[in-house]
Structure 1
């Protein structure tokens, strides 16, 4: 505050206020000036781009050779953009250099953590090293950072969707964004307020700067915790910040076939997938890496729409049709109400065998029928391409040794036409509608996905 202004305010106070009120006014005036002098120069209205993100990826020298194939899927996947970040390892892999491949982030050797106490009997001491990724990545002092994003070397991110989601939040405020496990047992043990590290999580730069300063002292109070994500969560909790839940982050604490999870994705952008080594390939008759590459063919065409579920009804045949765009189409040969279709089919197994709680999930489920012929007929993504105003994708029927009625026995391909999906990230999402179009032959069904009309309901007439 300028001296002349202060003098004028003191003179006014001496004429009209008591001394105590005058002092309060002066303190308030001075405080206001100080707050303004430290206000951020970046406007929240400026769009968040990939240049504002920095990734900290947890890995080891031993796992890097087999896990880097997953990072290659998404690193630098946004055209004409170079992503920033580092893969933290305990030692450099034999024959590997820190910066030898532009399609991958550089490798960084973590600092020594021998001074930290670690007492958890069932865990690995590396949890301390991985916790400190937060501190070490902040210390690199990258410019113009808005968000630090953390994950494992087998976490598959979807960067465009990640940007769209984080742009909802003001990076100048303290945010801790992520999601929990799919299974109740793990969430109950580690906490419903903890972002699971395999699914990935994001910390606003303003919070990360403060967290980095207090992290080492905080770690010392939690030698008994299992993982790095539990320590990060505990330290953020000590700063008084809670989890901002985004269900698009997927820990995937599941085994086997995760078709049910992907085919009934929440009404939110797909942000990450985890544990590809512990689940079946997501497309049949493909190895894991190729099946993920196949999914990314659709991601590159319309990232925001990937796995978004639309449901429509073929009234003439009384079929219920569920489209998980870019992945699959399911045809139920009966009428199903929408809430039942949206339930996650339990095609997968629980993460660990054990008591009944290990088979309870944090979402609505429906049983996977033991008889294949009583399950929906599944059509998997075959081809996808951009069109003038959107996309065209085709899905081929997956073989099921069943006897169908004449209409289903003929159907081999489903073609889906859409416009490009552009959601305002700050608006509440609404599920899109779809229509079964008149087809030229019994082998082909054509479906158009569109925005629902203002008062339109999705139901069987």
Structure 2
């Protein structure tokens, strides 16, 4: 059997390319590649020159401009807050004194919105100043209502405030004409949140009956609440239709909450907003303030004066004096003990001191004495926080001291002095008698740093100075940051 030439697949015409053909293919591929690069470059240049520019394509650096128009964003400060205050022509003449206690001319921004121009405004008192008033836009009367027509107008204050189109507004803060704000603390709260996002911040009622009647998840308007610019912008766009949907709600704050709920934004509750839905004496709440900055008071005309033997207005002035000396520290509790005498001390800085003639745990001391009743029914509760009844045994009741004066010490220190309140001498025990011998207490402290509330909160410690020696019926105490090994217990 004969054999033809051997068959090598590598030399088959289907797989083998002669050298001269390799050279020709390489030259052709190079020319094609150069041509493709040239066409692509020309196309890109033409695209840059003539194509409409997309807002998503940046060809040069553009400075960030926040929602309120600020081209240079900084840490939130009072200039970024716009207050919208709800009032009426009938109440403004008497209630505007509350605004004068916290308003800083040429610094604070905001408007009191009234139902009509007020009459017989008494401007003879030069100490009364505050925000300007304006009359609400008249179209609020066209909305449906059930039991409170004025609630519609007050709910639309956020719309009136937004429509002013003021520059650099990051936060809209709503409140009443009898709301007292502690603005530096308010700003410290708001500065923790990104104002470019949608935030709704405030507090609920102290009385459970009020929260059940309205809503636990709603910010009660008298205590004030804050709405960030983006949320306000969206809220204003749906507000009018939303108000008609919820015409059957009683208050303006409940209507605002319902509309914000439709946007899907929850309430961020902060314990420093105080609605004061209570009756009687607010002492128990103020002497046991949460470990949080004090932001606001409301309903001051409906509770006993904060300080005994003073009017409510003068009481707030005294508290404001301490607040301005050390804003983050106002009302903050500290506990310390005289173990030898078996005394417990509670200090609510800038307001009051209690000395108990027995040793009590911090758990008891931090729980508010119930010196008040519920808002609507004047009952003993329930409240949205724990309370403890005043001790029925006079020998276990504390001696009370109230702020008498505030002094600055150097650049970074303060000294507050507290004077014993008049008390009925109903207990004859030796320990109680020894407590009653202390007529004045001075408290020294360093100012809290401005960013104190931007960090994890912690109660500060106190210590009794001079080995507890009582000199001229006085005791000296120092409040300071707790040492690493130290706690506030007995």
TM-score bin, normalised by smaller chain: 0.7 to 0.9
What are the Cα deviations for residues 147-179 of structure 1, in whole angstroms up to 9, with x where unaligned? 111100111100111111111011111000001
Which residue of structure 1 aligns with residue 22 of structure 2? none
* Residues 114-148 of structure 1 deviation map (CA, whole Å, 9 limit, x = unaligned): 2111123xxx2100000000100100011100111
What number of residue pairs does the alignment pair up?
A: 429
Q: Secondary structure at the match of 1:129?
A: helix
Structure 1: tracts of 5 or more residues without a match: 9-29
Counterpart of 1:455? 485
Give the TM-score, by structure 2 length.
0.82
Alignment match, 1:417: 444
Alignment of 1:6-155 (within 5 A): 33=57, 40-41=65-66, 46-76=74-104, 81-96=106-121, 103-112=129-138, 113-120=140-147, 124-155=148-179
Deviation at residue 209 of structure 1 after TM alignment: 1.5
Give the deviation of 1:455 after TM superposition: 3.2
Alignment partner, residue 474 of structure 2: 444
Q: Distance in 2 between matches of 1:39 and 1:47?
A: 14
Q: Verify the 8 A CA contact 1:373 1:400 in the aligned structure 2.
A: no
**1:184–1:362 contact (8 Å) kept in structure 2:** yes
Task: Compare 194-203 and 208-217 and name the one that shifted more.
Answer: 208-217
Q: Which has the larger radius of gyration?
A: 2
Contact (CA 8 Å) 1:372, 1:400: kept in 2 or not?
A: no
Instruction: Name structure 2 gaps, 5 residues minimum.
Output: 1-39, 45-53
- Indicate the residue corresponding to 1:390 in structure 2: 413
1:179 to 2:203 alignment: yes
Aligned match of 1:12:
none
- 3-state secondary structure, aligned to 1:220: helix
Q: Distance in 2 between matches of 1:189 and 1:359?
A: 15
Separation in structure 1 between the aligned mates of residue 371 and residue 397 of structure 2, nearest angstrom: 11
Instruction: Give, in angstroms, the shift of residue 331 of structure 1.
Output: 0.6
**Secondary structure at the residue paired with 2:239?**
helix
> Equivalents in 2 of 1:44, 1:440: separation in Å?
55
Structure 2 matches for 1:147-226, cutoff 5 A?
147-226=171-250
Q: Secondary structure in 1 aligned to 2:195?
A: coil
Relative to structure 1, the CA distance from residue 64 to residue 368 in structure 2 (aligned partners, 3 Å threshold; closer, same or farther) is same
Q: Of residues 396, 401, 408 in structure 1, which corresponds to 2:424? A: 401
Q: Secondary structure at the match of 1:457?
A: coil
What displacement does 1:110 show? 0.9
Q: Is the contact between residue 373 and residue 401 of structure 1 (CA under 8 Å) also seen in structure 2?
A: no
Q: State the TM-score, normalizing by the size of structure 1.
A: 0.87
Maintained 8 Å contact 2:292/2:453: no
Q: Decide whether aligned partners of structure 1 residues 371 and 407 sit closer, same or farther in structure 2, where only a CA change above 3 A counts.
A: closer
Distance 1:179 1:329, change over 3 A: same
377-386 vs 451-460, which deviates more?
A: 451-460
Task: Name the Cα RMSD after superposition.
Answer: 2.6
Aligned to 2:246, what secondary structure does the other structure show?
coil
